[in-house]
Amino acid sequence: MRLVVVGNGMAGSRLVSEVRTRDPHMKITILGAETCQPYNRVLLSNVLAGSSRPEQVRLLDASWYESHDVTAAFGSTVAHIDRETRHVVTEDGRREPYDLLVLATGSDAIVPPIPGVERAIPFRTLDDCERIMDSADQAHAAGQRAVVIGGGLLGIEAARGLAGRGLPVTLVHLAGHLMERQLDVEAGEVLGETLAGLGVDIRTGVSAAGVEADGVRLTDGELIEGDLVILACGVRPVTKLAAEAGLEVRRGVVVDDELRTDDPSIFAIGECAEHAGTVYGLVAPAWEQATVAADVITGGKALYRGSRLVTRLKAKSVELAAMGETQLGEEHAEVVRFSHRARGTYRKLVIRDGRLVGAILLGESDAVGTLTQLFDRGGPLPGDRAGLLFPGLSSAPVADSPTLIPDAAKICQCNNVTKGQIRACWEAGARDVAGVAAATRATTGCGTCRDAVEGIVGWLCEQEGISV
């Protein structure tokens, strides 16, 4: 059996490692357009902010491929799929035969068609990140400013990272409030006020008309001064290869519950795939899809039924988690809300039929773990709603400590790792976070579960009187 994977990013590299775990003999070739080894794109904001080095966000190194008998070609862009002969053809003329093919081509940054946009730098790849860091250092040394176009998750992370490097930053966003897909109006406004307190000037409800030598020109004629301009205008699935091969493409490459396209020998996973009308742009669904596809490819039975999304903002001094149907109001659901704008705190629960269907937690909160578990499991909620938002005020026990968290609770959303799996890993000999991560991959996605994993490991060691 010859498996070829097109795309060596977060989805493709995970699929290859999952397949090799299940089948030590399958012939595997992975072709990646980027010249570097696969890296964790989610953690690029940490690299930009200076809290991580580029080498710290690598997923697999070159030695892994060799030791696991996987043929990997970096900087090898696939130009054509020959479905009749079952070959993929690269731009440099390489022809690679396949029995099964997986498309993990990901997404490209959206570049708005405005004059002068070539002066700006998209924030999407590791190369982009390194270009931005070099330019930011030069701009800071010269006392210059930066402008970020786009107030979604990536734009906020970019703006906060640049501000953390000492650069004055203005963020411009077309919508009326930040992260409008994940947040309601008040949460977006509170987030904007929090960022303003950290040195980011927020301009919402404005549109960029062009990028000029000294900044961004808005459609109303105003010039937002900036010598460094960053684009964070969203992403678009890379589907050209699939479309030219005659596969069904809508927003993404259409797949069924086995992640197969309308050609049963071709799969698609990650940001390029569209399942049940949804294209996911987060790492957890991509890795869930990789696991299902690996099961199917190696002869197992598995189905992908969609993912429950939890969005975490990874910006220094900004705590944010958003999940589910956050936009619903009292006319459609039971809504429990608390706002303290002076402290940058906003909390909202959206409840339907006694179950949590959405939540926003902005500002430091000890309720995140419990609410994420309740959302993920879809179980009935306790009657004390205020106690869900403020666990310390509730007389009812909630899972805010390792003792009370059930083994079935999911601790690492990105990798679907439960407390029970962490416990089993600890019992097998892992005595620190690094050991748990090596065995389960917990903490290797967005990294926001690290404190929870440390708490569980520390609690287990304490129970047994083991010093770490």
Quickly list DSSP for 31-85.
EESSSSPPB-GGGHHHHHHTSS-GGGGBS--HHHHHHTTEEEEET--EEEEETTT
The domain made up of 2-108+236-297 has a fold known as FAD/NAD(P)-binding domain (3.50.50)
Angle at 460 between CA 459 and CA 464, to 5 degrees: 115
Q: Is the pLDDT of residue 198 over 50?
A: yes
Calculate mean pLDDT across residues 436-450: 84
In terms of pLDDT, which residue wins out, 417 or 71?
Answer: 71
**Distance set, CA 157 to CA 111, 150, 174, 348 (Å):** 18, 11, 17, 22
**Residue written as tokens 């490819």?**
297
Identify which of 29-33, 434-438, 459-463 has the greatest average pLDDT. 29-33
Q: Is the pLDDT of residue 363 over 60?
A: yes
Confidence of residue 396 (pLDDT cuts 50, 70, 90): very low
CA-based max dimension of the chain: 68
Q: Is the pLDDT of residue 244 over 90?
A: yes
Domain formed by 117-233, architecture: 3-Layer(bba) Sandwich (3.50)
User: What pLDDT does 386 receive?
Assistant: 84
All structural domains of the chain with their residue ranges? 2-108+236-297, 117-233, 317-398, 401-468
User: What pLDDT does 398 receive?
Assistant: 44
Q: CATH topology of 317-398 equal to that of 401-468?
A: no
Phi, psi angles (nearest 5°) of residue 128 = -60, -45
Phi, psi angles (nearest 5°) of residue 180 = -65, -20
Calculate mean pLDDT across residues 50-65: 88
What are 139-171's pLDDT values in tens digits?
A: 999 999 999 999 999 999 999 999 988 999 999
Q: Is the pLDDT of residue 351 over 70?
A: yes
Average pLDDT over all residues of the chain: 91
Determine the angle formed by the axes of helices 153-164 and 185-197, rounding to 10 degrees: 10
- Minimum mean pLDDT range among 54-68, 259-273, 384-398: 384-398
User: What pLDDT does 404 receive?
Assistant: 60
The domain made up of 317-398 has a fold known as Enolase-like; domain 1 (3.30.390)
**Distance set, CA 221 to CA 113, 149, 215, 217, 304 (Å):** 17, 16, 12, 6, 49
Q: Is the pLDDT of residue 456 over 70?
A: yes
Q: Per DSSP, which regions of 205-263 are E strands? A: 208-212, 215-218, 223-225, 228-231, 235-237, 253-255
**pTM of the predicted structure, to 2 decimals:** 0.88
Distance (Å, whole) CA 304 – CA 47? 32
Q: What is the CATH number of domain 401-468?
A: 1.10.10.1100
Confidence of residue 406 (pLDDT cuts 50, 70, 90): confident
Task: Give the H or E element holding residue 126.
Answer: helix 126-141
Q: Running DSSP on this structure, what letter comes out for residue 383? A: S
What are 259-281's pLDDT values in tens digits?
A: 999 999 999 999 999 999 999 98
Calculate mean pLDDT across residues 186-191: 97
In terms of pLDDT, which residue wins out, 397 or 156?
Answer: 156
Confidence of residue 443 (pLDDT cuts 50, 70, 90): confident
